[in-house]
Structure 1
């Protein structure tokens, strides 16, 4: 195989890759831990220094967060890391990862441990510090090859993927529209299965405000915010099953106070998942109707916060072309047949697809139990997945494979 010497080099990096994953995962980088994310970015910058890319650290705009009392705070994210090489090349690839994890700085799960010779348990080992190391190693392999000069590439490592990528979304969109292929390094399943189509996701907060009154003396003068919000929530929950694949999850309810006071405030947090753009439009229309209906009740006001931060990712022709190419790479490497299945989960692959960019978004390590204290990485997947990505990159750069047709943005 023409690519064999480069793939052999990756195999020799296995121990180094594992050491880098452990070092990154032992640094807490919960989405709110700006200092921790900065440390991870520093280390990633060091690991990427041999690539010869132009580095930028971008401060993101503050994000709005609705507190349980209805107050809206502006919060800062960590820096976005952007690395660019050969930006004027005729063919360009966008590689995306995230530096944040779901584990806050005060979480009990902070360090890695070996469960056996091929399994490491630790915060972010699979999601996605293992994937970041796979990405950088694959690019190092590409740059060692004679095909590198044929393509340009850009890396975006954002600090807010686990909380919806709201602040980094404009940068993902801009980069996706300038690229031909997208690669994201979220973890694959333990058996190597990839994510295919992904549902879109919207996170919302609905605030009801009424009028406080003494529950005994002047109950008739009060306007119960909890009762009004409960009516809205009943209508929201009733949308389940009305449109194929659309689900509404009522996740949290807060409000009220002493039993002898008519509550004048209540807040509900909920999530909506949609399989198609049509499903999203339907859900948005239904939500607007419910807010309008309950919000016109006497003495009651409703405030809706949130949006669909992730558009649905549909497996169109361009995505099928890219997956077919990856399957051929897996076959060349002697891997079991690579399968993909639809999922209700979402990631930055949704964002790239919304910009019209075909992408594979589970090129990271094999692992599982992500977002829990049982999160694990299968160690042998480090070099395996780096070889798979490097071969995909080199085939594209060598002109051996056809580039997928540009998709039509689902947001247009």
Structure 2
């Protein structure tokens, strides 16, 4: 791909001229931390209004139920916000899925709430890069595609969920439903500051292991007790020893214990596991259960496992590689150098890839320091990445495949 047609140039000019910065500033001014249901409702309404400019039907989808284990061992239902879904031309011969998220990691009471300019063209603010900037890119790219003669050949679903930052437990079912049968998918996590994309990703699972022991007096009859805290610590050490090139393990927290003169009868170990391949994921699941069974035997305790691998590993298979190469070709036509590297992070791209759909999941603007008060958006990259997406979508429409 060495040159652009006149119709492509017209659509790309449309993409670059969209008022993306103004949209980012409006959306980022509203706190939409995953647990801030009021803020999420406000942002969802703003997004529904914005995306209604595209043809098709916009709807808000109720979240799936989510459970969590509290420090006392009880199971509670966690409320999540509604997800936005737009469907356009479901009968077109080529079907795409574009995804983003409206939530951020910054709670309603987090001190990071305002926008400020760091340098010319660099905007600091909560969610500017991750990923309200990405949402603006989606809208600008699709609005530009709609002006192209190729628009009639392509249909798409846009899904913007409310809980990506906590693992998409309330939206995983919707993602799988919308991914089914798609030619390809684009997800709008931010690219690195130099424009590098995320390639292969590991999977990720979060687990809570509740350990039930037996209380006893720490001085009079400790031998009659079964120390759940010690069992949890032993489990943490055994799981930590499973680390390898194909599996990262992070025992993160133990809840439990009580007065110094009582053998603790309950503890909860929280652990994250990140397998790099599907085979490593299967092995980790089996080893986790075997290790828990050994703890039960060796400490004479009972364990309950809660959680699972909510993000499957995302290797770069041949179809995904072809999609990355198409994005690189489109970048070259725009004067952009596009590369990609494996990363240790996870996102909704993991879930989409697990459905057998090729996906590039860092199609958003360039930015950095995400999940911190130093988060920044490189503003010039909004137009750059909107053009990259628009051209990629038009090329898929033209080819009928990746």
TM-score by length of 1: 0.94
The equivalent position to 2:9 in structure 1, one of 4, 8, 11, is 4
Q: Deviations over 1:149-171 (max 9, x none)?
A: 01111101111111111121111
- Residues 1:91 and 2:89 are matched in the alignment: no
Residue 162 (structure 1) aligns with: 165
In structure 1, C-alpha distance between the alignment counterparts of 2:12 and 2:92, rounded to whole Å: 24
- Residues 1:118 and 2:121 are matched in the alignment: yes
The equivalent position to 2:236 in structure 1, one of 233, 236, 239, is 233
Residue 401 (structure 2) aligns with: 403
Residue 408 (structure 1) aligns with: none
Residue 407 (structure 1) aligns with: none
Residue 141 (structure 1) aligns with: 144
What's the offset of the Cα at 1:398?
2.6
Give the secondary structure class of the aligned counterpart of 1:278.
Answer: helix
What's the offset of the Cα at 1:297?
4.2
- Residues 1:368 and 2:368 are matched in the alignment: yes
Residue 410 (structure 1) aligns with: none
Q: Deviations over 1:128-180 (max 9, x none)?
A: 00000000110000011111001111101111111111121111111111211
Q: Deviations over 1:4-57 (max 9, x none)?
A: 1121222322xx211110111111111111111111111111111211221111
Mapping 1:374-389, distance limit 5 Å: 374-389=374-389
In structure 2, C-alpha distance between the alignment counterparts of 1:100 and 1:62, rounded to whole Å: 17
- Residues 1:64 and 2:67 are matched in the alignment: yes
In structure 2, C-alpha distance between the alignment counterparts of 1:289 and 1:246, rounded to whole Å: 16
- Residues 1:21 and 2:13 are matched in the alignment: no
* Gaps in structure 2 of 5+ consecutive residues: none
Residue 305 (structure 1) aligns with: 306
What's the offset of the Cα at 1:300?
1.1
Q: Deviations over 1:239-265 (max 9, x none)?
A: 113xx3211101111210111111111
In structure 1, C-alpha distance between the alignment counterparts of 2:200 and 2:23, rounded to whole Å: 31
Residue 352 (structure 1) aligns with: 352
In structure 2, C-alpha distance between the alignment counterparts of 1:193 and 1:86, rounded to whole Å: 32
In structure 1, C-alpha distance between the alignment counterparts of 2:14 and 2:56, rounded to whole Å: 21
CA RMSD, 1 decimal: 1.1
Residue 288 (structure 1) aligns with: 289
Report if the CA contact (8 A) 2:324-2:360 is conserved: yes
Give the secondary structure class of the aligned counterpart of 1:203.
Answer: strand
What's the offset of the Cα at 1:298?
5.9
Give the secondary structure class of the aligned counterpart of 1:292.
Answer: helix
Residue 272 (structure 2) aligns with: 271
Report if the CA contact (8 A) 2:231-2:299 is conserved: no
Give the secondary structure class of the aligned counterpart of 1:147.
Answer: helix
In structure 2, C-alpha distance between the alignment counterparts of 1:28 and 1:206, rounded to whole Å: 33
Give the secondary structure class of the aligned counterpart of 1:366.
Answer: strand
Report if the CA contact (8 A) 1:197-1:313 is conserved: yes
Report if the CA contact (8 A) 1:61-1:76 is conserved: no
Residue 51 (structure 2) aligns with: 48
In structure 2, C-alpha distance between the alignment counterparts of 1:193 and 1:358, rounded to whole Å: 18
In structure 2, C-alpha distance between the alignment counterparts of 1:398 and 1:236, rounded to whole Å: 50
What's the offset of the Cα at 1:60?
1.5
Mapping 1:215-230, distance limit 5 Å: 215-230=218-233
Report if the CA contact (8 A) 2:232-2:254 is conserved: no
What's the offset of the Cα at 1:299?
4.4
Give the secondary structure class of the aligned counterpart of 1:327.
Answer: helix
In structure 2, C-alpha distance between the alignment counterparts of 1:52 and 1:91, rounded to whole Å: 16
Residue 210 (structure 2) aligns with: 207
In structure 1, C-alpha distance between the alignment counterparts of 2:279 and 2:300, rounded to whole Å: 35
In structure 2, C-alpha distance between the alignment counterparts of 1:110 and 1:178, rounded to whole Å: 40
Residue 191 (structure 2) aligns with: 188
In structure 1, C-alpha distance between the alignment counterparts of 2:390 and 2:299, rounded to whole Å: 63
* Gaps in structure 1 of 5+ consecutive residues: 405-412
Residue 247 (structure 2) aligns with: 246
Report if the CA contact (8 A) 1:211-1:299 is conserved: no
In structure 2, C-alpha distance between the alignment counterparts of 1:340 and 1:260, rounded to whole Å: 56
